[in-house]
Structures are given as structure tokens and as C-alpha cells.
Amino acid sequence: EADIYQTPRYLVIGTGKKITLECSQTMGHDKMYWYQQDPGMELHLIHYSYGVNSTEKGDLSSESTVSRIRTEHFPLTLESARPSHTSQYLCASRDTHTEAFFGQGTRLTVV
């Protein structure tokens, strides 16, 4: 079983609030990813990291930011949440030439 954890699992928050979605993995993987997925839709890559102090934006434009200060931790922050940010956010990690493992996701609702 994959050791990658996301918190919170569910979050309902008001417009304009700052939020941080947490993602941690205990597998020592150097590569970590954040995906956004609307119900029944495809995964869209929003951020990724190849290691500590390395972060890049993905294919989907996002108003969120990420940081990678420690190998095991890859938090995603929204400075000012909007209803358009309502979605499921999925974190994944992998090592070089290995499969990716996903967390259970955070379902965010901005009201």
C-alpha cells in the first residue's frame, strides 16, 4: 500500500480565504505532483517537483503555489480561494523509472 497522505480529505471554505492542502509521503520519492480533477473528467497537472527546492508549473494554469522544502512534504496553497477553485486535488509521488502512487485526494468546495 502506498504511503502518501493528503489532508484534509474534505474542505468547505468561503471565498477569499487562504488555504493550504497538505501532501506527505514516506517513501523517499524525489518526484511529486499535484493534479486537479473535476468529477468524471481527466486529470490535469498543475504543479510538480523533481526534488527539494525544485518546483514547476504544469499544463493547467493555476492560481495556486507550491513549495518543496523537505523531500516528504509538498503543500499546495491558494492565497485567495474562489468558487472556480472548487474541485478535487490529487497528490502523487514516484521515484525515477517507477510507478506513481496517489493520495486519496482533497475535495475542495469554495462557497
Identify which of residues 16 and 50 has a Cβ nearer to another protein in the complex.
50
E strand residue ranges, 29-105: 31-37, 44-51, 54-57, 65-66, 76-78, 87-94, 101-102
Identify which of residues 42 and 69 has a Cβ nearer to another protein in the complex.
42
13 part of the interface to another protein, by CB under 8 A:
no
The dihedral through the CA atoms of 36, 38, 40, 44 has a sign that is negative
Which residues, 83 to 102, sit near another protein by CB under 8 A? 88, 90, 92, 94, 96-102
Q: Which of 6, 62, 64, 87: binder of another protein (CB under 8 A)?
A: 6
In the complex, what is the shortest distance from the CB of residue 100 to another protein, in angstroms, rounded to a whole number?
6
Q: Which of 11, 43, 52, 60: binder of another protein (CB under 8 A)?
A: 43
Alpha-carbon distance of 42 to 32, in angstroms, equals: 19
**Whether the Cβ atoms of residue 48 and residue 34 lie closer than 8 Å to each other:** yes
Site size for another protein (CB under 8 A): 26
50 part of the interface to another protein, by CB under 8 A:
yes
Tally of residues, the chain:
111
